[in-house]
A and B are shown apart, each in its own frame.
Chain A
Amino acid sequence: MTGHTKTIRVDTLARVEGEGSLYIKLAGERVADVKLKIYEPPRFFEAFLRGRHFSEAPDITARICGICPIAYQMSAIHAIERALGTRIDPAVRLLRRLFYCGEWIESHTLHVYMLHAPDFLGYQDAIAMARDHRALVEQALRLKKVGNRIVTLLGGREIHPISATVGGFYKVPSKQQVRELVEDLKWALDASLETARWTANLDFPDFEQDYEFVALRHPDEYPFNEGRVVSNRGLDIDAAEYEDHFVELHVKHSNALHSVVRGRGSYLVGPLARFNLNFDKLPEIAKQAARDVKLAVPVKNPFRSIMVRSVEIVFACAEALRIVGEYEPPTIPRVEVPNQAGVGQAITEAPRGILYHRYAMDEKGLIIAARIIPPTSQNQKRIEDDLRDYAPRLVAWPLEEASWKCEQAIRNYDPCISCATHSLKLTVERRDADGV
């Protein structure tokens, strides 16, 4: 090898959910190869969902991801309800939004403080960070706990909650129980505003990309469970048309399937996309929080996703407070959903971006086909594209620092590899040398 070649290799990506590795080969200032590798074993969810009753799908698909189980439950439930023409009580609809607020607060806070912030401040982890910034980490844990409290009230437990089901909830909380969240949420809203201000003071590399942003868009609200799929390049489709407009390609340099917009290329889903496409739907307090830290649409620097995530925590706290104030329990917690044949698709906004589910059921209500496309598999090609543009500026850096910066660039996406592995190609070698 000549002195001009440099290889950045991270065998175990840390502070991400699931198992992956990174490999970048630089020849001079040219990037010869970029591979975000996934060695997490595949788990075949789509295959073993076949033959199960539709009522089991929310519980089974939740197990794809321990970090965002509610996203899986919501996409599964909405897809099945669309297939079977189920109409839900408006109070159930509100509770589902509240449920999602809890997951966003919990998941975003985890990422902002525990997974991403240590990169900006130069710590290996949040625990080391706590030695110098104890109050900050304690605030993070308390904020995260408020999100988990919402999830626990509505779902029974934080991870793999048990109450959400097709047609509604097995049991809904009383008005009093929901109102009891108010004090925590008021505190959380203040803490989230502080978080947004705090993230604005971090150092961001001067790095922008020309993204195609893809997110849900709803006429009246910042999106969770409903809306059309839109992009800044003119896409505007129903969830049922998703598979006509997005394809998964097998590219030569990688064993991973790459999701692309048909006829174009990689795209970005998640906080940046939602914020840029739905800023006008944010409540005033979240808009103001963004303006206060000079976060203007469109945000095209992926490192600033930590700021956008913080503004989304402000949104989730404000939205939760609104719902908690309005809540009246539904007349019945769930409507009966009879067995019948049907096909339905739904997309909801997981913390990391749009999550697509499709189910086909037979007349006994048994699933005959399922398709699940999580946000991380959609972002995977985009992550590699970012690295391809970003890595050349690290040529002069010491290898350890360059590697860390690349890891940080990956963590901009809060990737969830556990989610991705049922639809990403498994890389057979764990630490292959690639002839280098």
Chain B
Amino acid sequence: MNSDTQHKRRIAVFKFASCDGCQLSLLDAEDELLGVAGAVDIAYFPEATRAVLKGPYDIGLIEGSITTHHDAERIQELRRQCKTLVTIGACATAGGIQALRNWKDVEEFIRVVYATPQFISTLKLSTPIAEHVPVDFELRGCPINKCHLIELITATMAGRKPMIPSYSVCLECKRKSNVCISVARGIPCLGPVTQAGCGALCPSYDRGCYGCYGPMESPNTASLANQLHMLGQSDTQIMRAFRGFNAWSWQFRKTSEEYEHK
């Protein structure tokens, strides 16, 4: 440990069930990476380094959802180790795409994928970190926006609240002067209920938003589901639309279940 190390904040990155993409966002911040690395101590980040500094840590970034007994115990220990604990991405924040198991028989899933099912130990549900421990901040997105991550680290170091929008994708479309693809062209779009952050990517590429940033603050999912119905979407299609990368977030879950049982 060098002399200035004691004054630097210690950041640790931990992975649970996930694709590695959200932590890769840090390495994808090509212009900021060396700056960030100079300002903090990267104390634990196996994807990038062999070096391991023991906890406690100032900031713990958690990627991935809880899907095993072992991980359910590990997150308890990590909560004790991290002064500020932040979930990064849809897996850690909403259970991820692997939460699709939550509506199925996981034993049957194991039989589909694995030849000798008895070796697989897994929980019935894929759950977000906040169902296990208190979380200080949740960074949305599948994947997260790397600028949000830099803002989050900067804000935490400065002791202020990160400036991350909680409004819907629609506002981003308006700001980009996109013509509404749903109104003008009848394309089903989850933008009205999805949190901003991607820069209204899908509508800007002529497709409907598929909700990878999860529900905005107070989304009216019932109203949007009606709108999708008016655009000709079947109940099953509406169910699938809400059952994506943030399927287990309670707002999307509620709507998908309503349409599953219609």
Listed in ascending order, the chain A residues whose CB lies under 8 Å from chain B are 12-19, 40-48, 50, 52-53, 56, 59-60, 63-67, 69, 110, 114-115, 118, 124-128, 130, 134, 137-138, 141-142, 144-145, 148, 156-160, 162-163, 165, 170-171, 248, 250, 255, 257, 333, 404, 407, 416, 418, 422-423, 425-426, 428, 430
Contacts and interface: CB of A to CB of B under 8 A. Distances in A.
B210 interface: yes
Contacts of A165: 207
A295 B116 CA distance: 43
Given A162-B205, A423-B113, A42 B50 contact: no
Q: Which one of A13, A17, A115, A171 has the greatest number of beta carbons of chain B within 10 Å?
A: A17
Contacts of B42: 125, 127
Contacts of A18: 15, 20
B46 A66 contact: no
Contact of A250 (B46, B115, B210, B240): B115
B21 A126 contact: no
B189 interface: no
A407 B201 contact: no
Given A42-B113, A44-B110, A46-B112, A148 B48 contact: no
A41 B122 contact: yes
A48 B27 CA distance: 30
B17 A41 contact: yes
Contact of B20 (A15, A46, A66, A430): A66
A114 B98 CA distance: 29
Given A162-B201, A425-B116, A66 B143 contact: yes
A8 to B, nearest CB: 14
A124 B52 CA distance: 9
B212 A160 contact: yes
Interface in B131-146: 142-143
Q: Which one of B15, B28, B101 has the greatest number of beta carbons of chain A within 10 Å?
A: B28
Interface stretch (B66-74, B158-166, B249-257): B66-74
Contacts of A67: 20-21, 24
B51 A47 contact: no
A69 B21 contact: yes
B31 to A, nearest CB: 8
A65 B51 CA distance: 24
A157 B122 contact: no
B114 A425 contact: yes
A418 B19 contact: yes
B54 to A, nearest CB: 13
Nearest to A20: B46
A148 B25 CA distance: 11
B20 to A, nearest CB: 5
A142 B20 CA distance: 21
Q: Which one of A40, A52, A142, A257 has the greatest number of beta carbons of chain B within 10 Å?
A: A40
